[in-house]
Amino acid sequence: MSDPKDLKQEAERLDAADPLAAHRAKFALDEETVYLDGNSLGALPAHVPARMAEVVGREWGELRIRSWDESGWWTAPERIGDRIAPLVGAAPGQIVVGDSTSVNVFKAVVAAARLAGGAGEGRDEILVDGTTFPTDGYIAESAARMTGHRIVALDPADIPGAANERTALALVNHVDYRTGRLHDLPGTTAALHAAGALAVWDLCHSAGALPVGLDAHGVDLAVGCTYKYLNGGPGSPAYLYVAERHQARFDSPLPGWTSHADPFGMTPGYRAADGAVRGRVGTPDILSMLALEAALDVWDGVAVEEVRAKSLALTDFFLECVRAYVPEGRVVPVTPEPHGERGSQVALSCPDAPVVMPELIKRGVVGDLRRPDLLRFGFTPLYVGFADAERAARVLAEVLAGLPAD
């Protein structure tokens, strides 16, 4: 067992050498709390409240309807999409922001099924990640019933081998929300394409935490939320990526008026706009959207590769501290050890998790519980440091020491 003092010193050394350390000051955080739940709700960038006061006071309060043009409200979904694009490796013009992730999963699955030619043409199966965040599975199942497809739920690692001439598409999570396992986006996408199928990725737990490379790996469609690692705020709108090569044939199952080629023509017949804009539905939720837009300023000048390097160093260090402080067997990491298989969180299985997490939170270490037995700790490199990781592991050991070992 390492000496606790050594790990404290090591944390200080790592924080002093951390090229991203200065970014923490951009967030509204208090020194009493170690915030390890940014994979559920990202922290507030400190400049956002002032920007929102201006949006509400000036743009809504004074300019009122003029703001749709004069304050750029109307074009916010595609403008903010272009701000997210570099974070997920997409060229401009392929991402549109709006609606929830759940709604975008629906748009993406139905649109991909239509792009694949429809169930009547032999491709009648939709492969889904069987370990998925439930909403993706629920919605894919409903989408499949509507389009006449059959759902095949699989471990994501088995999807490349299962894709065949009956596969229309696969809906896969880049990072598993429970275990933090990073799935093989390049390999899975290539295997789906080799089988003639489309790849739809859910980036909720990867965007803002690690490089995604949507364009480089030829992903077809993708969705993701913005309130986790992108710090957009509670319920901030999600996004939809439609690769440029699919845009002309992208046939939205929710062709709302704001995706029309001439929305203010108010014509009875639908004619889709060009580009990713056809992923829009109705009137954008401007307040949430503009809070997200302001929140994205924290990424100016930040390279995702640098974020990834720190994320891996943080999770490595946290695991090292847990091994040093927590008696053998009290917790078992379910997050993979190899860097190539790890997202930006550490999940520890612990039979006492339901009593441990509230105790941690009481002592200022905020992670979350995923029933029945997972303690989840998210590491957001822009505002979490190595001393935070050390303290979290130390407090975890203290809490466990106060409970009877079973």
* Site size with ligand PLP, rule: CB under 6 A: 13
Asked if 202 is part of the footprint of ligand PLP (rule: CB under 6 A), the reply reads: yes
Shortest Å, Cβ 154 to ligand PLP:
16
Candidate residues 225, 294, 321, 348; the one interacting with ligand PLP per rule CB under 6 A: 225
From its phi and psi, is residue 275 left (phi > 0), alpha (psi between -120 and 50) or beta? left
204 binds ligand PLP (CB under 6 A): yes
Beta bridge partners of 241: 95, 222
Q: Spot the catalytic one: 83, 166, 181, 228.
A: 228
Q: Which position among 67, 101, 147, 247 is part of the footprint of ligand PLP (CB under 6 A)?
A: 101
Q: What is the 3-state secondary structure (H, E, C) of the chain?
A: CCCHHHHHHHHHHHHHCCCCHHHHHHECCCCCCEECCCCCCCCCECCHHHHHHHHHHHHHCCCHHHHHHHCCCCCHHHHHHHHHHHHHCCCCCCEEECCCHHHHHHHHHHHHHHHCCCHHHCCCEEEEECCCCHHHHHHHHHHHHHHCCEEEEECHHHHHHHCCCCEEEEEEECECCCCCEECCHHHHHHHHHHCCCEEEEECCCCCCCCCCCCCCCCCCEEEECCCCCCCCCCCCCCEEEECHHHHHHCCCCCCCHHHECCHHHCCCCCCECCHHHHHCCCCCCHHHHHHHHHHHHHHCCCCHHHHHHHHHHHHHHHHHHHHHHCCCCCCEECCCCCHHHECCEEEEECCCHHHHHHHHHHCCEECEEECCCEEEEECCCCCCCHHHHHHHHHHHHHHHHCCCCC
- Candidates 94-102, 148-156, 330-338, 379-387; binding stretch for ligand PLP (CB under 6 A): 94-102
Find the shortest distance in angstroms from Cβ 134 to ligand PLP: 8
- Kindly identify the residues of this chain, within the stretch 168-197, that bind ligand PLP according to CB under 6 A: 173, 177
* Least distance CB 180 / ligand PLP (angstroms): 11
Nearer to ligand PLP, 33 or 102 (CB): 102
Tell me, yes or no, if 202 is annotated catalytic: yes
Please tell me which residue in 106, 227, 239, 383 is annotated as part of the active site.
227
Closer to ligand PLP by CB, 222 or 375: give it: 222
136 near ligand PLP (CB under 6 A): yes
78/99 with CB nearer ligand PLP: 99
Residue 376 designated active-site: yes
Residue 18 Cα distances to 340, 344, 379, angstroms: 22, 17, 14
155 part of the active site:
no
If you count them, how many residues does the chain have?
Answer: 406
Asked if 140 is part of the footprint of ligand PLP (rule: CB under 6 A), the reply reads no
User: Is 135 a residue that touches ligand PLP (CB under 6 A)?
Assistant: yes
Give ∠ CA 145-147-151 in degrees, rounded to 5: 50
Question: Which residues are registered as beta bridge partners of 151?
Answer: 126
Question: From the CB of 266, what's the least distance to ligand PLP, in Å?
Answer: 30
Smallest gap from Cβ 326 to ligand PLP, in A, equals 27
373 contacts ligand PLP (rule: CB under 6 A)? no
Residue 42 or 275 having the CB closest to ligand PLP: 42
Residue from 27, 133, 325, 383 carrying the catalytic annotation: 133
**Interaction between residue 78 and ligand PLP (CB under 6 A):** no
For the question of residue 241 being annotated catalytic, the response is: no
**Residue 33 touches ligand PLP, criterion: CB under 6 A:** no
Q: Of 177 and 318, which CB lies nearer to ligand PLP in the complex structure?
A: 177
Nearest 5°: CA angle at 310, between 306 and 314? 170
Residue of 33, 71, 102, 142 interacting with ligand PLP (CB under 6 A): 102
Query: Rule CB under 6 A: which of 233-252 touch ligand PLP?
Result: 238
Nearer Cβ to ligand PLP (151/313): 151
Q: Which residues contact 371 (CB under 8 A, 6 or more apart)?
A: 353, 354
Residue 285 binding ligand PLP, by CB under 6 A: no
> Minimum CB separation from ligand PLP for residue 342, in Å?
16
Per CB under 6 A, the segment of 19-27, 87-95, 100-108, 257-265 that binds ligand PLP is: 100-108
Q: CB of 278: closest distance to ligand PLP in angstroms? A: 20
Instruction: Specify whether the CB–CB gap between 180 and 368 falls below 8 A.
Output: no
Residues catalogued as catalytic:
133, 202, 227-228, 376
- Interacting residues with ligand PLP (CB under 6 A): 100-102, 133, 135-136, 173, 177, 202, 204-205, 225, 238
